[in-house]
Amino acid sequence: MTDINITIQNADNSTTSLQAPTNIGLSLMEFLKACEYDILATCGGMALCATCHVEVIKGFENLSEITDDEYAILDTLPNITPTSRLACQLQLSEKLNNIALKIIGDEL
């Protein structure tokens, strides 16, 4: 499989379905920026700023385990959820197929 399906819950609660390539080494953050979603990614994907914060609505159990560095950044946020992740730390792969998420970014 080279493409996966990703569903984005937009701010108005509508959803957008996207097909993402898994064979070119992109992170979820890089893919969402390429799709012109409003993700600042101020630190460039180094897990330092949390401006690519997403809430995983469906498929959280399929993701790789959160690293200590990622958790340390997420833990500083006032709007963290039990299924929060940094999009820069999620590589596009078959594990993300059919994932649904909401972009939280730097909203406070």
pLDDT, tens digit, for every residue of 69-99? 999 999 999 999 999 999 999 999 999 999 9
pLDDT, tens digit, for every residue of 6-29? 999 998 999 999 999 999 999 999
CATH entry, 3-103, from 3.40.50.720, 1.20.1300.10, 1.10.3470.10, 3.10.20.30: 3.10.20.30
Between the alpha carbon of residue 100 and those of residues 7, 18, 88, the distances in Å are 4, 10, 16
Taking the model in full, what pTM does it have?
0.92
What phi, psi does 39 have (nearest 5°)? -120, 120
